[in-house]
Amino acid sequence: MAEQEEALGRSAPVIEPGHTFATVTDKISSIVLTRPTSKSWIVGFTVGFALTMMMLFAIGYLVVRGTGIWGINIPIGWGFAIVNFVWWIGIGHAGTLISAILLLLRQSWRNSINRFAEAMTLFAVMAAGIFPLIHTGRPWLAYWMFPYPNTMGYWPQFRSPLIWDVFAVSTYFTISLVFWFIGLIPDLATLRDRSHNRFAKIIYGILALGWRGSARHWHRYETAYLLLGGLATPLVLSVHTVVSFDFAIAIVPGWHTTIFPPYFVAGAIYSGFAMVMMLAIPIRKIYNLEDFITDRHLQNSAKVMLATGWIVAYGYGMEAFMGWYSGNKFDSFLLWNRLHGPYAVWYWALLICNIGIPQALAFRKMRTSPLWLWLISLVVLVGMWLERFIIVVVSLHRDFVTSSWGMYYPTKWDWMTYIGTMGMFLAAIFLFVRILPMISIFEMRTLLPEAEVKE
Amino acid sequence: MSAHEKHQHPVYGLMAEFDSAQDLIEAANRTREAGYKKIDAYSPFPIEGMAEAIGFHKNGVPLVVLIGGIVGGLTGYALQYWIATMAYPVNVGGKPFHSWPSFIIVTFEMTILFAGLSAVLGMLALNGLPMPYHPVFNVPRFALASKDRFFLIIFASDAKYDAAGTRQFLEGFHPRSLSEVPS
């Protein structure tokens, strides 16, 4: 039995033995309450903050001068803004997947990574949301996309996938935010009761809403949490589906395919888990959380990446197959152009990053080595960014009429905005681990053997 | 509650502290069986069967979520129908104004949005949260309820409550501590 478990890679426990309710509580809450702010935290936050300022500068200049400062042109009207939007929103899928879908599937190992995966989701969706907003060219009029009675007598066009996107992304952000917040309430109560700093006590006290752990409250709480999980599950699958409709509803070769929704969703989960690993591996090392984020978590996440990577590979295969099988000359030209055109080097890089290198995860040695797992996750994130670049730019740059062909070169403003959003994401993550419990304390308590009661 | 009654019940309840979830659920079951109706239990995490042990069966959350979802879906579809056919009809490629397949996605998103917000706000409202002050917080040891201790309270408003008898009853469970909760 033990050997079988070992062979299945289930031998590593979800939580190391020897912990009690008190030690779990103290260990996680002390990171926020008593651990002094380290030099590396200050350095990391400063870097993130500085990059955020760079992003704001780039956006400020954009508002003054208009989207002409970017590399976009006709025919490539979408460029970096949409590439980065899709990339970030994809990363934002892992959080809700982990907290909702794995909740419904009763995968209790999720309890130690769901909190910061959800936080990561929120920050990634914030970073994503910036791009379509500034891409409108006049971001101060973005509220026109929402249906509200106005003196212009105008209403949004609900037959447009871009309006679907507004609803999908804003619903996703709202639901992710409330899901994260209600998960935090009992832990905020713990921080309120543990904190010795009066200011912290008041702030955590307000945020905890007066939570006192009553059995009646827990009962309704669990029902609401489970129902939210059930609602968030189709939602998370719908978000990237709707994002893929932005492409698939159009008739551009390389976009107009029915494989897009499932392949976008799989790609989103793929990159989302890669980002979770990128963050979890250093965090568990720095904060000595190997007891809670064990090798089991790394292995399971690696397996999810491996499986979703195969779905993505199938998607690429199907695109290539349809390019050949459809007999449509524009579709087969697209395939030829990807493999041999001016951006071919990036298409090959994409295949190596997303299909080639991640196959190493099939080996247990790779899945259990934090360093290798971190590096492979980085490769996947690069690969998934390249995928969106190929989809947006290569499809647009050579369409039906040769006279309208063009090339796309991102400018320094494109790069400053993109790297700036990474800084914003980083700064937000640093703030989060400093002021909120990054692991769900009450859900960790339920994993302990003492939490079980006999009838 | 009138001022006179308040004077009669200067005490909010009697609270016993336990070391484990098992002790709490057993004590709660026996308290309920002894005929106490107005009781509550506090724990640092949800315990399976705890709600039944204190005799709590009504859970309004699913109904609230269902209503929220239905209202959200209807709102979403009605909004689009009204805009597309009456308020702002635009002929797009000769498609019918009521081109319902295009309206499914926003209807779906609105259903999820309303149902999800109903789950959160409904749960908080039914729980009476936010509630910054509650008498149980007056017991200093109650701070441990969010860490590793388990508390059972019998409210003074219970018909069967009497200061001495109830104290004796709770002492029978050998709690770690027993405190009177001032109201």
Domain that holds residue A16: 8-450
Q: Which of B120, B121, B142, B151 to mutate to test the interface with A (most CBs of A within 10 A)?
A: B120
Q: Which of A165, A227, A238, A239 to mutate to test the interface with B (most CBs of B within 10 A)?
A: A227
Residue A126 included in any domain: yes
Q: Where are the beta strands (DSSP E) in chain B?
A: 11-18, 39-42, 150-155, 177-182
Residue B15 included in any domain: no
Residue B79 included in any domain: yes
Kindly state the average pLDDT of the residues A62-85: 92
Among A155, A206, A218, the residue with its CB nearest the CB of B87 is: A155
pLDDT bin (cut points 50, 70, 90) of residue B104 is very high
Residue B65 included in any domain: yes
Residue A274 included in any domain: yes
- Contact partners, residue A23, CB within 8 Å, separation at least 6: none
Residue A3 included in any domain: no
Q: What is the value of pTM for the model shown?
A: 0.90
Q: How many residues make up chain B in this entry?
A: 183
Token duo for residue B164: 């001495």
pLDDT at A394: 92
pLDDT at A317: 92
Angle between helices A260-286 and A79-91 (to 10 degrees): 70
Tell me the CATH number at A174.
1.20.1630.10
Q: How many residues make up chain A in this entry?
A: 455
pLDDT at A1: 42
pLDDT at A25: 86
Domain that holds residue B81: 61-126
Q: Which residue in A17, A201, A181, A19 sits closest to B148, CA to CA?
A: A19
Instruction: Report yes or no: A302 and A359 within 8 Å, Cβ to Cβ.
Output: no
pLDDT at A10: 53
Residue A25 forms contact with B (CB below 8 Å): yes
Kindly state the average pLDDT of the residues A100-110: 83
Task: Round the average pLDDT of chain B to a whole number and report it.
Answer: 87
Token duo for residue B43: 């724990």
Residue A285 forms contact with B (CB below 8 Å): no
Residue A100 forms contact with B (CB below 8 Å): no
Kindly state the average pLDDT of the residues B89-108: 91
- Give, in degrees to the nearest 5, the angle at Cα B50 between A452 and B40: 135
Alpha helices in A208-259 (DSSP H): 215-248
Residue B67 forms contact with A (CB below 8 Å): no
Token duo for residue A353: 């990053």
Residue B21 included in any domain: no
Least confident of A227-231, A241-245, B55-59: B55-59
Q: How far apart are CA B45 and CA A25, in angstroms?
A: 11
pLDDT bin (cut points 50, 70, 90) of residue B6 is very low
Residue B147 included in any domain: no
Distance from CA of B150 to the nearest CA of A (A): 10
The DSSP element (H or E) to which A440 belongs, if any, is none
| Residue A46 identity | T
Kindly state the average pLDDT of the residues B27-55: 88
Q: Is it the case that residue A382 has pLDDT exceeding 90? A: yes
Token duo for residue A206: 């307000």
pLDDT at A38: 85
B133-149 pLDDT tens trace:
888 888 888 888 888 88
Residue B19 included in any domain: no
Q: Is it the case that residue A43 has pLDDT exceeding 90? A: yes
Tell me the chain A residues in contact with residue B123 when contact means C-beta distances shorter than 8 Å: 182, 220-221, 223-224
Domain count of the fold of chain B: 1
Q: How far apart are CA A453 and CA A192, in angstroms?
A: 27
| Residue A301 identity | S
Residue B70 included in any domain: yes
Among B56, B88, B95, the residue with its CB nearest the CB of A216 is: B56
A321-334 pLDDT tens trace:
988 898 888 888 99
Residue A242 forms contact with B (CB below 8 Å): yes
Task: Round the average pLDDT of chain A to a whole number and report it.
Answer: 89
B42-95 pLDDT tens trace:
999 898 888 888 888 888 999 999 999 999 999 999 999 999 999 999 988 888
Report whether the peptide linkage leading into residue B130 is cis, meaning its omega lies within 30 degrees of zero.
yes
pLDDT at B8: 53
Q: How far apart are CA B182 and CA B137, in angstroms?
A: 10
| 3-class DSSP assignment, residue A342 | coil
- Contact partners, residue A274, CB within 8 Å, separation at least 6: A91, A305, A376, A377, A378, A380, A381, A384
CA distances from residue B72 to A175, A219, B77 in whole angstroms, order as listed = 14, 25, 9
pLDDT bin (cut points 50, 70, 90) of residue B4 is very low
Q: How far apart are CA A422 and CA A51, in angstroms?
A: 8
Q: How far apart are CA A209 and CA A338, in angstroms?
A: 55
b/e B82-118 (16+ beta carbons within 10 angstroms → b): ebbeeebeeeeeeeeeeeeebbebbbbbbbbbbbbbb
As a whole-number percent, the residues of chain A with pLDDT over 70 amount to 97
Decide if B146 and A213 are in contact by the 8 Å CB cutoff. Answer: yes
Kindly state the average pLDDT of the residues A246-251: 90
Q: Is it the case that residue B180 has pLDDT exceeding 70? A: yes
Report whether the peptide linkage leading into residue A139 is cis, meaning its omega lies within 30 degrees of zero.
no
pLDDT at B165: 84
Residue B84 included in any domain: yes
| 3-class DSSP assignment, residue B11 | strand
Q: Is it the case that residue A213 has pLDDT exceeding 80? A: yes
Q: Which residue in A226, A212, A215 sits closest to B52, CA to CA?
A: A215
Q: How far apart are CA B56 and CA B63, in angstroms?
A: 17
Dihedral angle of Cα A26, A30, A32, A37, to the nearest 10 degrees = -170
pLDDT at B5: 47
Phi and psi at residue B13, in whole multiples of 5°?
Answer: 175, 180
| 3-class DSSP assignment, residue A179 | helix
Q: Which residue has the tokens 């790779």?
A: A366
- Give, in degrees to the nearest 5, the angle at Cα A298 between A191 and B46: 35
Angle between helices A21-33 and A161-194 (to 10 degrees): 110
Domain count of the fold of chain A: 1
Dihedral sign (CA A20, A186, B157, B160): negative
Q: Is it the case that residue A188 has pLDDT exceeding 60? A: yes
Which A-chain residues 290-309 have CB contacts (< 8 A) with chain B?
none
Token duo for residue B135: 């008498």
Q: Which residue in B128, B1, B92 sits closest to A217, CA to CA?
A: B128
pLDDT at A164: 93
Q: Which of B57, B133, B147 to mutate to test the interface with A (most CBs of A within 10 A)?
A: B147
Q: Which residue has the tokens 């999820």?
A: B112
pLDDT bin (cut points 50, 70, 90) of residue A455 is low
| Residue A89 identity | I
